[in-house]
Structure 1
Amino acid sequence: MSNEELNKIVSKAKEIYNRYRSPEAAAEVVEVRGDEVIIKFKGTFCETCGLYDWIEDMSYILKDLGVDAVVTKAEEVGERTYVGIFRIRNVRGKHK
């Protein structure tokens, strides 16, 4: 899969994420490079649900779109702002 195709899938995942989770959490794609995707999450977040769950939800959306990705890092970068780093393990049958 080309980087352009991957960018389109990640962008679609962001749209789906925001459609169902905004305004509590909104995703913004920061960068797609190689087998890594960096996404910024901002919002009030329902913290009783678990903050990590809000970030991990993106990996499930990506999987539904054919990209198997796992969260490798989640960190707070500002007030109610977090960055999730995802490693792509498999894309439509192509192992990474």
Structure 2
Amino acid sequence: MNKPSEGRLVWNHSTHIPGLIPRLEKLIKYQGIKTVTPGVIKTVRGRCPHLKLRVSVPICGGYKVIARKGKTVQEVFITTTLEQAELEKAIAQCLS
């Protein structure tokens, strides 16, 4: 029996938004997710009290997702075979 393939989490940076990594570790277990790569952290003016992940734009082979918590924003690049609606559903399940 073949075990369903699991995606991988790429560690490019040493800092991440608090609570982001456990959510991404859940996300890579979804069928169709290949790689998840957190990007650069930036600070913004607005505040977001809870961790939110929002699909931003399509990229080659996947999507760019914006993670927000407090005044911190981090890009997350996801390569996947999922459609945008399926990815949004998987993200929503990981956040609940």
Report TM bin, short chain: 0.3 to 0.5
Structure with the largest fraction of strand: 2
Q: Greater RCO between the two (CA within 8 Å, min separation 6)?
A: 2
Structure with the largest fraction of helix: 1
Please give the TM-score of this superposition, normalised by the length of structure 2. Answer: 0.39
